[in-house]
């Protein structure tokens, strides 16, 4: 989608310390300051390129001289290869690696690759949805990497989600608890929910072409009900790049929702937790440990976001962050749904212009 709009794009690869090959789309601007963007849950880097120049953040960054990189989480279309696990021979071990506890390794490898390649000491980072969660995990567990980032732009961060009102999430949570869906999946050897293959891509795109209202409502059942900030003619494009996800990552997210605690995956038994963590309960991601020597934050959240409720941002996330971390006061956009932050018609003027301006002012 990038090259069709007249922009350069190449696929690069780097290796994580736990054996994953991470694919990185690179919009090369030689000598430009490096900026890395990371997608959310059930998405890949294509989510950043689904609109047009003048609308998507990536094109504005490139036009302003930045060297732009788009990351892809493990198990997604461009990062499927593991040196340790084979999805056909050992699907359980393979898909259990798709969890936001492990995704900071993807970030570490990508940061090191970009900084080694460019010669800069720091880069800017923009994350959406789970792309922010994994960054918060990294910043609380590996402060050395905080020094490699100058600005962290967090769009719709689902760190605390106890008040999520997404019908999809609420229904899933109900079935997960009442009917023990996780146990049923494990009993039948189901470790992931498949998407991102050509047949499902065609199916979703076809549904959006023929009956856009159905497609629109599926998207909004997840993210929010306001239709006003979405270009409905782009629905087939938005729905054309679904990704698979693991049962473990979904379970982990529901654990955080139900306990109200931002913590590592709970194995369900004290002995299992002790085996993995050296303690009977999963460690908490302590946001108070984020180093002031690391990036400044720009946080944006929406009033019509059904997944990331403003209450959770304002009463749980923000109070747990040192005020000195903020580049600017967190921005509340009353009419924004969860997906408006990447696909919204007005995101360019509401968010991206300020983000580009802030990134220009950083030291690299």
φ, ψ (nearest 5 deg) of residue 225: -95, -5
Q: Is 241 a catalytic residue?
A: no
CATH number for the domain spanning 81: value is: 3.40.50.1820
* Structural domain count, the chain: 1
* Direct distance between the N- and C-terminal alpha carbons of the chain, in angstroms, rounded to an integer: 29
Q: Is 73 a catalytic residue?
A: no
- Secondary structure class of 355 (helix, strand, coil): helix
pLDDT tens digit string along 311-354? Answer: 999 999 999 999 999 999 999 999 999 999 999 999 999 999 99
Lowest mean pLDDT among 72-81, 131-140, 178-187, 250-259: 178-187
Catalytic residue among 50, 79, 129, 166: 129
Place of tokens 């999946």: 185
Catalytic residue among 305, 309, 312, 350: 305
Catalytic residue among 338, 340, 348, 350: 338
Residue 4's closest CA among 39, 47, 43, 53?
Answer: 53
Please give the residue range of the domain that contains residue 184: 3-360
pLDDT at position 221 over 70? no
Residue 331's closest CA among 310, 312, 315, 316?
Answer: 310
pLDDT tens digit string along 224-249? Answer: 666 677 777 776 677 666 777 888 99
Confidence of residue 196 (pLDDT cuts 50, 70, 90): very low
Confidence of residue 188 (pLDDT cuts 50, 70, 90): confident
Q: Is 129 a catalytic residue?
A: yes
Per-residue burial over 190-217, b = 16 or more CB atoms within 10 Å of its CB, e = otherwise: bbbbebbeeebbeebbebbeeeeeebbe
Is 219:238 a contact under the CB 8 Å cutoff? yes
């Amino acid at each position: 989608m990038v090259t069709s709009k007249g922009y350069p794009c190449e696929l690069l690869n780097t290796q994580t310390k736990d054996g994953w090959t991470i694919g990185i789309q690179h919009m090369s601007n030689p000598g430009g300051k490096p900026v890395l963007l990371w997608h959310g849950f059930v998405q890949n880097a294509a989510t950043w390129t689904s609109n047009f120049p003048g609308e998507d953040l990536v094109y504005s960054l490139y036009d302003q001289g930045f060297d732009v990189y788009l990351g892809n989480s493990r198990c997604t279309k461009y990062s499927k290869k593991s040196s340790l696990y084979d999805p056909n021979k050992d699907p359980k071990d393979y898909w259990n690696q798709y969890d936001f506890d492990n995704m900071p390794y993807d970030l570490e490898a990508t940061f090191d690759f970009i900084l080694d390649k460019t010669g800069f000491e720091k880069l800017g980072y923009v994350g959406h949805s789970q792309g922010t969660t994994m960054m918060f995990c990294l910043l609380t567990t590996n402060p050395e990497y905080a020094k490699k980032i100058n600005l962290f732009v967090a769009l719709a961060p689902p760190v605390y989600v106890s008040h999520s009102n997404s019908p999809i999430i609420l229904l899933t949570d109900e079935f997960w608890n009442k009917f023990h869906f996780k146990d049923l999946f494990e009993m039948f050897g189901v470790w992931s929910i498949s998407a991102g293959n050509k047949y499902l891509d065609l199916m979703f795109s076809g549904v959006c072409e023929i009956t856009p209202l159905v497609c629109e409502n599926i998207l909004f059942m997840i993210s929010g009900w306001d239709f006003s900030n979405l270009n409905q003619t782009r629905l087939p494009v938005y729905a054309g790049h679904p990704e698979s996800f693991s049962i473990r990552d979904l379970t982990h997210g529901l654990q955080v929702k139900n306990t109200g605690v931002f913590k590592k995956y709970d194995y369900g038994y004290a002995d299992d937790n002790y085996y993995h963590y050296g303690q009977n309960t999963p460690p908490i991601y302590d946001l108070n440990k984020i180093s002031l020597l690391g990036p400044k934050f720009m946080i944006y959240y929406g009033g019509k976001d059904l997944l990331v409720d403003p209450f959770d941002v304002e009463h749980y996330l923000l109070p747990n962050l040192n005020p000195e971390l903020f580049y600017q006061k967190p921005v509340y956009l009353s009419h924004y749904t969860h997906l408006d932050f990447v696909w919204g018609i007005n995101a360019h003027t509401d968010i991206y212009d300020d983000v580009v301006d802030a990134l220009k002012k950083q030291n690299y």
